[in-house]
A and B are shown apart, each in its own frame.
Chain A
């Protein structure tokens, strides 16, 4: 589904990604862990198409298409979704309006008919239950005045409505208490199927207790320096990142 080959990227002259290789197949959950500044969020942003990064080498193939050539909205319509670490507030545009517009753009691209207001509301109310979101937030402006937890739930609600093939969760656990964390993880779990995949970007292991990965990769200094199964996450939790740093240093 997703092949990242030797991806090298920089921002404002700083080399952040120094040759990433990663294969993700349908039905898989991958976790990318790493200390602050290792390039985790950069990778997530580049996959979703954020401006400002310069890709210096390598390629990203998503479902046979060269992802890096597509505009952010085209990637979204092809089925890439990024849950933001810091969701943006949009005063004056209601959640419903925003989400309905987004969904219909994606449906049009997939050759489906657009949903009218009634059908849309039926769908979105059903999906809200997955993330245990207060229905009154639907009529409110996007993320405006939402608590940290509400913003993260809203990200997962968007994911539930837009049904991406590949969901990238960027530090979705940051700022969540344990109950909210469980709710969000359960929401993501219930959306999993054999055709879609999830890439979880996180600093801490705790989200992975509830959202169990098939593969764990450790990103350090712009490279994946270690890959393994879920036990690797537990090892990192126990030993911290220092041993990775030492190991990466040794292999240089």
Chain B
């Protein structure tokens, strides 16, 4: 008999799987997730992994699964703001976790690539679902992973064949549409890379209106041997919504995984990244930027597990906290005993722009091997005094100097994004946030267009 947590059970009382026409693998997976969910306590400050993020207000609300009318009457114009100026890409659009083919554009993908919604894939290719669903997501104790597993309403299934190299990115766009209730938007994504392939994947979380939505996504990534996956994730939801997303990655021999996480939106957001380096010569790069203002809370929890010798990881997470906002970095690097010759570097830097903003940093190294090169560090502080003096000595006021340097602080993470239109979109967002005092937006655009 499973012991049920009452708060946990209450929270999901209005959730249900959206469609019933599902494969047996998905049904089984839901059932397992539901059982785990019911025995898991709702996250609270007393839990080590949630000690900085207070969800007691959220716990009083009851999320409601989406309904069909959420997705109807949407046009390409609604999605345009998230098209990165119509960047050339293969786009799959999900609204409240539901695939909307009329807004998507995946017809021109190569013949061997599969990009479809998870429910179709489960019908067409049940063996893959059985093999991969839930298999990269091994954390085992995360409430929101189970919640997603029990109630996800679809997701993307991307299968990249061996030897596939493409310059054209795949864009997974997850949009929310609210109504009077707290909508629940949950996608479950599987990304499976073949050998010797190279792809750029963009995952964007945005809002179609300013109503609150609870987004709860899980993406599982299986990188292929000798492959490169660039994975850019942008969290741009309105500031009344919640975001609980996790990305789980396995990185086999000689494969490279480069993740850039940029968080600007949501009232409360939690970014969970769990990367496992499982083969020699593998590389994991996690770059992150979380820029909070008003009363936003941005919680980042990352785990990089070195399970194989001769693997490298490099992490740089940066927080910019203004207003009453709060930023959290809780990053763990785990080096198993067999993972000799590991090289692992981790850095968290936070910039505090107001007296009321707050940053927590908890970098952790757990090393069980003896022949490794590891470093970690955290700084919380103000802008560099020498740089301030440099700008002021040219006649620039203190306020403008501060905003220029804040913009600069953010930009080296943004620069790790390989796609020009996405970078430009983020520059503009950040410029509007931190750069209002110097020059007009037109100036800014013409200057950056020169660079493109």
Q: Are B443 and A97 in contact (CB under 8 A)?
A: yes
* A87 proximal to B (CB < 8 A): yes
Check if B412 is an interface residue, CB within 8 A of chain A: yes
| B408-433 Cβ-contact flags toward A at 8 Å (1 or 0) | 10111011000000000001000000
Q: For the complex, is A98 an interface residue (Cβ under 8 Å from B)?
A: yes
Is B438 positioned at the interface, with any CB of A under 8 Å from its CB?
yes
Q: Is B396 an interface residue (CB 8 A)?
A: yes
Q: How far is the CA of A163 from the CA of B412 in the complex (A)?
A: 32
How far, in Å, is B438 (CB) from chain A's closest CB? Answer: 5
- Let me know if A123 is at the binding interface, CB within 8 A: no
**What distance in Å separates the Cβ of B320 from its nearest Cβ neighbour in chain A?**
12
In this assembly, does B451 line the interface, its C-beta being within 8 Å of a C-beta of chain A?
yes
B396 and A73 contact, CB distance less than 8 A: yes
A97 touches B395 (CB 8 A): no
**Contact status of A162 and B387, CB under 8 A, knowing A92-B407, A93-B407:** no
Which residues of A, 46-93, contact B by the 8 Å Cβ criterion?
48-52, 71-73, 75-77, 81-82, 84, 87-88, 90-93
Determine whether the beta carbon of B405 is less than 8 Å from that of A90: yes
B400: chain A residues within 8 A (beta carbon): 101, 105
How many whole Å from B341's CB to the nearest CB in chain A?
Answer: 31
* Contacting pair B447 A94 (CB below 8 A): yes
Which residue on chain A has the smallest CB distance to residue B446? A117
In whole Å, how far is B235's beta carbon from the nearest beta carbon of chain A?
20
**B451/A139 in contact, CB under 8 A:** yes
Interface residues on A, range: 35 or more
Minimum CB–CB distance from B268 to chain A (whole Å) comes to: 28
Select A100's contact among B391, B443, B450, beta carbons within 8 Å: B443
Interface centre among B389, B414, B438, B450 (most CB of A within 10 A): B389
CB pair B393–A48 under 8 Å, yes or no, is: yes
The B interface is mostly helix, strand or loop, or mixed, namely helix
Q: Which of A49, A84, A100, A109 contacts B439 (CB 8 A)?
A: A100
Smallest CB separation, A191 vs chain B (Å): 16
Taken together as a complex, chains A and B put the C-alpha atoms of A50 and B444 apart, in Å, by 29
Alpha-carbon separation in the docked complex, A142 to B439 (Å)? 16
Instruction: Evaluate whether A105 and B397 lie within 8 angstroms (CB atoms) in the complex, with A90-B404, A139-B450 already known.
Output: yes
A169: CB under 8 A from chain B? Answer: no
Q: How far is the CB of A138 from chain B (nearest CB, A)?
A: 8
Q: Do A72 and B389 touch (CB < 8 A)?
A: yes
Instruction: Report the minimal beta-carbon distance from B439 to chain A, rounded to whole angstroms.
Output: 6
Which of B396, B410, B411, B448 has most A Cβ within 10 Å? B396
With a cutoff of 8 Å between Cβ atoms, the chain B residues found around residue A93 in the complex are 404, 407-408, 411
A139 and B447 contact, CB distance less than 8 A:
yes
Mask: chain B, 150-169; 1 = CB below 8 Å from A; 0 = not: 00000000000000000000
Chain B interface (Cβ within 8 Å of chain A)? 384-387, 389-398, 400-401, 404-405, 407-408, 410-412, 414-415, 427, 438-439, 443-444, 446-448, 450-451
